[in-house]
Amino acid sequence: MSAAPATEVKPAPPAIEKIKVKVDGREVEVPKLTPDWQGKLAPTTMLQACDIAKKDVPHYCYHPKLPVSGNCRMCLVEFGTPALGPDRKPVMNPDGTPKIAKSPRPAIGCATPISPGMEIYTSTPGVKQMREGVLESLLINHPLDCPICDQAGECKLQEYSVDYGQSASRFVEAKVHKPKAVDLGPRIMLDAERCILCTRCIRFTKDVAGDDALGIVNRGSYNTISTFPGLPFDNNYTLNTVDICPVGALTSKDFRFQMRVWFLKETKSVCTSCATGCNVLISSREEKVYRYTPRDNDAVNASWMCDAGRLNYKWIQREDRLKAVLVRGQKSTWTNALSEIAGKLKQAQVGSVAIIASARQSNEELWLLAKLKATFGAISDSIERTGDADKLLVSADKNPNTNGARLTGICFSEMGINLPKIADGIAKGKIKALIVFGEEVTKHGISAELLGKLDTLIVSDILPNATTAKAHYVLPGCAHAEKRGSFTNMKGRVQKFMQAVQPPGEARAEWDFLHDLVYNVTSKNGFLTIEGLFNEMAKDVPAFNGLTWAGLGDAGVTVKI
């Protein structure tokens, strides 16, 4: 990621013709064409029209981001089209309205395109009966082991059973027992009994992830999802199949038997494992993070996220997190440490301060550090992290906020260019004070010996390392799940993240104490809230001009980078 990627400029899409249909007697205008799972325009289906009319049509196999397969039959609805006479002219009722010829057979909503004047009926006794029939059929061999099923609470089969199920089964035969707790791959466990064979997982892994790994084997009641014998289901997107599985057939080994989902608080956040910035929901309970799940955002990650990013949360709860403010190895308080630091920095000569910030920090924090930089005429940089990219979501840039660091002026388009200069400055004794945020600089050319030469080494980090061991001032910081803020992703999308859990011990959000420090040093007052701070930053940083915290919304805003 040496050159900044340009924002995509899309031509305005051509206007799509609208047609009128009636859903349960209410007329709605729907576009004739709707983007399908790949974003290509395709004829609007009855299910999409019902969605626009805010009429819920139950479904299992249909997923807006997957090709339509139409096998679950749950979305069956009745419909009618305007009747045509022998002269191919619409037949009119005596009152002047077009006569509707009701289709003698129902049709699946997910795969039947709409036509002008069509009437869709979603709540007739016939439709209700069909749903009850489908559900009864799905439950013939379902084990009903909800008490031990991880999906319980977010299970479509449970939800629709409440709506359309019967209290007792009419079947007296023994249920077909299929394999349980089948090890499908390193992160996935399959319970074949619970599977309703909607094939969402098969379509996802074949068409979206591009790894044709799953299929159905055996016949009739013995239908089972399976991988090719001996080949584990192992790509970087396997855990998405757990999300889209409408029942508890595919479960995550990581989340297996960890917590019941109804206890989990979901917080809107952003994944920090690479520069893509997939939107996530952090599920937590009692200050413990249990899982990440992707949050829909068509501008960034659609409905997916990679397994590596999803499982990269355990460090938040590590026992050895930095929890105390340390001044030269002794426990201290925030007030003492910050006023001492401010005193030292105020005496510093121009050019004797260097700042190494992390591109894992939020825009606001980097901007506050840039303010410090401007005050002392400091030299600053950040540290590049690169890795493998793929075609779907994973970016080669492993920093979540590289563009934020660039736009706020912490580093140049080529990251890490100033590091040798800083090392040189320390070696020559020109740089006396070094401020390090969230980076282990001894691994990036500034050795522990060099750090020993400094008069003042201020380090803020989350986990202990060789740099924090050398620091004169250790300021414990927060993981992104423990604070609020915003990141700018590789396409320049500014997205905010919310606080899910409380930070451990005395740890404080970096923007919170940086705010105190900056205004101690510059003796100007500023905003004490993240909203105010973001808005102030948006006025100050040209690229962010016009943005407001509230205006970012849940999906973020793309800026020019």
Partner 1 sequence: MIIKRKPLNLAERLYLPAIIGGFKVTLRHLLKKKVTMQYPEEKWVVPEGYRGAPYLVKDQEGNTKCVSCQLCEFVCPPKAIKITPPGPAGQLADRANAEKMPKEFEINMLRCIFCGFCQEVCPEEAIFLQKDYSLTGTSRAEMIYNKEKLLALGGVHAGVQKWKHKADEAKEQESFPVKA
Using the minimum distance from each CB to partner 1, give the nearer residue, 191 or 482.
191
Q: How many CB atoms lie within 10 A of CB 356?
A: 27
User: How many Cα atoms within 13 Å fall on the side-chain side of residue 105?
Assistant: 3
Q: Which class for 317: exposed (0-12), middle (13-18), buried (19 or more C-beta within 10 A)?
A: middle
Which of the 8 DSSP states describes residue 114?
Answer: P
Q: In the bound complex, what is the minimum distance in angstroms from residue 349's beta carbon to partner 1?
A: 55
Using the minimum distance from each CB to partner 1, give the nearer residue, 256 or 443.
256
Q: In the bound complex, what is the minimum distance in angstroms from residue 63's beta carbon to partner 1?
A: 27
User: What is the C-alpha to C-alpha distance for residues 73 and 49, in angstroms, rounded to an integer?
Assistant: 17
User: What is the C-alpha to C-alpha distance for residues 45 and 55, in angstroms, rounded to an integer?
Assistant: 14
Strand-by-strand arrangement of the 279-285 sheet: 265-270, 279-285, 288-294
Which amino acid, residue 71?
N
Using the minimum distance from each CB to partner 1, give the nearer residue, 32 or 288.
288
Using the minimum distance from each CB to partner 1, give the nearer residue, 175 or 344.
175
Q: In the bound complex, what is the minimum distance in angstroms from residue 36's beta carbon to partner 1?
A: 35
Q: In the bound complex, what is the minimum distance in angstroms from residue 151's beta carbon to partner 1?
A: 12
Using the minimum distance from each CB to partner 1, give the nearer residue, 5 or 153.
153
Using the minimum distance from each CB to partner 1, give the nearer residue, 17 or 173.
173
Contact 197, 216 (CB under 8 A): yes
Q: In the bound complex, what is the minimum distance in angstroms from residue 256's beta carbon to partner 1?
A: 4
Using the minimum distance from each CB to partner 1, give the nearer residue, 148 or 417.
148
Q: In the bound complex, what is the minimum distance in angstroms from residue 236's beta carbon to partner 1?
A: 20
Bridge partners (DSSP) of residue 457 are: 434
Hey, is 486 helix, strand or coil? strand
Q: In the bound complex, what is the minimum distance in angstroms from residue 235's beta carbon to partner 1?
A: 20
Using the minimum distance from each CB to partner 1, give the nearer residue, 145 or 388.
145
Which of the 8 DSSP states describes residue 504?
Answer: S
Give the helix/strand (H/E) hosting 27: strand 26-31
Q: In the bound complex, what is the minimum distance in angstroms from residue 350's beta carbon to partner 1?
A: 55
Q: In the bound complex, what is the minimum distance in angstroms from residue 311's beta carbon to partner 1?
A: 12
Hey, is 101 helix, strand or coil? strand
Using the minimum distance from each CB to partner 1, give the nearer residue, 238 or 358.
238
In order, the DSSP letters of 3-25 are SPPPPP-PPPPPPPPEEEEEETT
Using the minimum distance from each CB to partner 1, give the nearer residue, 4 or 146.
146
Q: How many CB atoms lie within 10 A of CB 553?
A: 10
278 closest CA partner among 443, 495, 120, 13: 495
Sign, CA dihedral 500-501-502-507, equals negative
Hey, is 330 helix, strand or coil? strand
The binding site for partner 1 (CB under 8 A) comprises: 143, 146-148, 152, 174-181, 217-218, 222, 224, 253-260, 262-263
Q: In the bound complex, what is the minimum distance in angstroms from residue 403's beta carbon to partner 1?
A: 37
Contact 68, 59 (CB under 8 A): no
Hey, is 124 helix, strand or coil? coil
Using the minimum distance from each CB to partner 1, give the nearer residue, 224 or 499.
224
Output the CA torsion 285→287→293→298 (10° steps). 120
Using the minimum distance from each CB to partner 1, give the nearer residue, 257 or 524.
257
Which amino acid, residue 378?
A
Q: In the bound complex, what is the minimum distance in angstroms from residue 177's beta carbon to partner 1?
A: 4
Q: In the bound complex, what is the minimum distance in angstroms from residue 204's beta carbon to partner 1?
A: 23
Q: How many CB atoms lie within 10 A of CB 86?
A: 6
Sign, CA dihedral 322-323-327-329, equals negative
